[in-house]
Amino acid sequence: MLLAIDTSSALSGVALVDGDRVSAESVKPSGRGFDIAAEVARLVPHLDVVSEVLVALGPGSFTGLRQGIAFGVGLAMSLRVPLLGLGTLDLAAARAREPAVAVSEAGRGRFFYQAPDGRRGVAEAAGVPPEWPVVGWLRTPGLDLLPEARQRSFGEAVIAARSLAKEVGYGTVKPDYMRQFGELV
């Protein structure tokens, strides 16, 4: 089974996926109160069922990304299973059941965005491509988000985006921090 971890946004998600089925998932507010080890232990009481670990690579905050990536790397290493990396915006886009602009907070009223036509960047709310609905986990108001009823759960998004994930070496994981996103465009 695949264990997916995303701690890069306003909410943090953990999901256990068995092929095309979500076995368990949890989405809670990110920050000091989010205990990733406790969430994984609650969702996966027997770690021997985990055959792959997927971590969100950002863009996102330094602390948020490090929390999920460090835990994911340590778990994958200890279980001797493959470690997969997937962009935060790819995961956000996969939550939408229709073409949508994936967003993540960039601070100072700005948002990282990834549009269905391939455009990527950092902009204030007015600069986010308006042609599609918006999807993402945000703390800051300023964008009208796609209603939850038109979105997949975190685990369902992991299934939808799984083919975009790349295997990464335990020691070669490269997070996409907020300040580096401009270099990725």
Domain segments of the chain: what residues? 2-88+153-184, 89-150
Note if the pTM is more than 0.85: yes
Torsion from C-alpha of 83, 64, 14, 169, nearest 10 degrees: 0
Residue 102 CB partners (closer than 8 Å, separation 6+) = 89, 90, 91, 92, 93, 96, 113, 114, 135, 136
Q: What is the pLDDT of residue 173?
A: 85
Q: What is the pLDDT of residue 184?
A: 41
Distance between CA atoms of residues 87 and 82, nearest Å: 17
The class of domain 2-88+153-184 in CATH terms is: alpha beta
Kindly tell me the burial class for residue 13, based on how many C-beta atoms sit within 10 Å of its own C-beta (0-12, 13-18, 19 or more).
buried
Which tokens is 22 given? 């979500």
- pLDDT means per 10 residues, the chain with 185 residues, are 96 97 97 94 95 95 89 97 97 97 91 95 95 93 90 98 95 73 47
Q: What is the pLDDT of residue 178?
A: 59
Q: What is the pLDDT of residue 180?
A: 52
Q: What is the pLDDT of residue 115?
A: 97
CA 40 distance to own-chain centroid: 16
Q: Which residue bears the tokens 């994981």?
A: 173
Phi, psi of 41 (to 5 degrees): -60, -35
* Phi-psi domain of 108 (left: phi exceeds 0; alpha: psi -120 through 50; beta: other): left
Of the CA atoms within 13 Å of residue 43, those in its CB half-sphere come to: 25
